[in-house]
Chain A
């Protein structure tokens, strides 16, 4: 098809893609650049493209402020809630995909509508609930919340993957003397492994980036990185250098795993509707 197109059209298309890519990458590049500048270089009317690199912003953020602790909090909360979401999600998705259970379509559709509900509507009841249970500013509150919020996606994604496992494979494993659990771990798990990675990746990114609930439910003890980031943006002064450094630290791990696992990511983004 492309052979029918003339060279100038091709060239034009090429230019469009390059410009689009520059636009998508520039803000990230600019943030990293700003994080490496000192105060005077960062605040100039004409941007400085060449400057002497300083790591002071990172030093301040990590050593003098509590940002390292916030990053670790984020990591801990995201990791545990991801594991829980994938485990509980498999627990729901696997039986639905394997057996004809009564009401399975209704339950799955209900789970999907939970993905639709804007999270803001649960914030007040959840806040009061956790406050009554003395669970504000604890890991439990954030982990429970994120597990809940990630479960619908995990269930739907994993349902799609489990459906792809042919029943016969499992039957033959059973005949060969496996029980359901060993059959699951020896035969099915390797097949749906990519699905678990996909669901886990999306859950992790979601929990890592979440701000609305983290802002309301966490205090000084379990504050996560996106909430900590907001500390540098006070009404009086905005410490852009430190914000850029903290922002870079937040996106760095996510950017790395995203690039490493990009195919898994594409399938996860569409809740399994598109294969990457």
Chain B
């Protein structure tokens, strides 16, 4: 027993390197961010005067900021819901077909593992109006050749389509794993009770799957919020700001206009918003229970 206690205190030593790294890289940037958000801070400037709440006041009057919120929210909501609906549909079908699952799973994992930079550039190539293969397909369907990425009304949908292409497989694979984990008994009970296939789906499958659906949606929302790589590769925020997401304007303000102070103010607001929203969503599930159950 004594020996065990000794080991227990020793465990703090093995934890320390990791915890220190996590602490330093999260707390220092946060404090620094809050500090410079009250400054007119430039990475090349020698004096960085304190300006009080000026950056925040500017922020709330900046239509680019509100636009970025709008674009990000539209992006997150449309991608995640499309990916969920399509992914669930495909997972249900695949679960019933029980055909070539291994092959399909291994092929469909490739988009998920691909660098978003590569995906972005390839879709930009395929969406080109003159030699893009997607425009060739569109023409076969009787649509005119269009430069989707430079068309203000189509650039965001094109970006959404790209994300849906890359991440629907993620939803599909997770939900398929969830479907396979549902025991047979509730289905038999539903069959004996004479439930239709829609009723079975609605009252057996969905409730049994709810926890995994929740986790899958949460993980996708977290990642969709960060959208940056594909914006950089495909549109650089344009045309006329229709694809400038929050991540994009922070990068743009910081590293193009060197307005670090202002960029920091955006980050602080973004951080408060994202962390409060997601901790609220996280509270809804007991993660520790999920861990021990699986």
- A and B interact: yes
A contact residues vs B (CB 8 Å cutoff):
1-2, 5, 10, 13-14, 16-17, 20-21, 23-25, 27-28, 30-31, 34, 42-47, 88-89, 91-92, 94-96, 98-99, 101, 105, 107-109, 111-129, 131, 144-145, 147-148, 151-152, 155, 159-160, 163, 174, 180, 205, 208-209, 211-212, 215-216, 225-226, 229-230, 233, 238, 240, 243-244, 247, 250-251, 254-255, 258-259, 262, 265-266, 269-276
Complex Cα spacing A38 to B83, Å: 36
Extra 7 A-B pairs, beta carbons < 8 Å, given A25-B110, A28-B114, A126-B25? A24-B108, A98-B11, A101-B8, A148-B26, A160-B291, A259-B106, A262-B109
Q: Among the listed A101, A118, A125, A126, which residue makes an inter-chain contact with B247, where contact means beta carbons less than 8 Å apart?
A: A118
Q: Is the CB of A91 within 8 A of B267?
A: no
Interface string of B135-175 (1 = CB under 8 A from A): 01000000000000000000000000000010011100110
Contact partners of A270 in chain B: CB under 8 A: 174, 212, 215-216, 219
Asked if A14 and B111 make an inter-chain contact with CB atoms under 8 angstroms apart, the answer reads no
Chain A interface secondary structure, helix, strand, loop or mixed? helix
A180 and B288 form a contact (CB under 8 A):
no
Contact between chains at A114 and B22 (CB < 8 Å): yes
Name A116's contact: one of B10, B109, B275 (CB within 8 Å). Answer: B275
State the CA gap A79–B19 with chains docked (Å). Answer: 21
| A17 & B122 in contact (Cβ 8 Å cutoff) | no
* Cβ contact of B18, chosen from A89, A212, A265, cutoff 8 A: A89
B107 & A250 in contact (Cβ 8 Å cutoff): no
Q: Is the CB of A17 within 8 A of B136?
A: no
B77 within 8 A of A: no
Residues of B that sit less than 8 Å from A by CB: 3, 7-8, 10-12, 14-19, 21-22, 25-26, 28-30, 32-33, 36, 43, 86, 90, 93-94, 96-99, 104-119, 121-123, 125-126, 130-131, 133, 136, 165, 168-170, 173-174, 177-178, 181, 187, 191, 211-212, 215-216, 219, 222, 225-226, 228-229, 232-233, 246-247, 250-251, 254-255, 260, 263-264, 267, 270-271, 274-275, 278-279, 282, 287-288, 290-292, 294
Are B169 and A120 in contact (CB-based, < 8 A)? no
Chain B residues lying within 8 Å of A131, measured Cβ to Cβ, are 43
Tell me if A17 and B15 are in contact (CB < 8 A). no
Contact A120 B247 (CB under 8 A): yes
For B3, the closest partner residue in chain A by CB is A174
Query: In the bound complex, do residue A44 and residue B187 qualify as a contact, i.e. CB atoms below 8 Å apart?
Result: no
Q: What residues of A have a CB within 8 angstroms of the CB of B282 in the complex?
A: 109, 112-113, 116
Q: Which residues of B have CB within 8 Å of A117?
A: 26, 271, 274-275
Q: How far is it, in angstroms, between the C-alpha of A270 and the C-alpha of B118 when the chains are bound?
A: 23
Q: Is the CB of B255 within 8 A of A216?
A: yes
Q: Which residues of B contact A119 (CB under 8 A)?
A: 226
A274 touches B177 (CB 8 A): yes
A174 CB contacts on chain B under 8 angstroms: 3
Taking each of A24, A28, A99, A209, which has the highest tally of chain B beta carbons within 10 Å of its own beta carbon? A24
Question: Which residue of B18, B178, B254, B294 is within 8 Å of A123 (Cβ)?
Answer: B254
The answer to whether B174 and A274 have CB atoms under 8 Å apart is yes
Q: A16-B93, A94-B14, A266-B174 are in contact. Are A273 and B294 (CB under 8 A)?
A: yes
Which residues of the partner chain A approach B106 to less than 8 Å between Cβ atoms? Answer: 258-259, 262
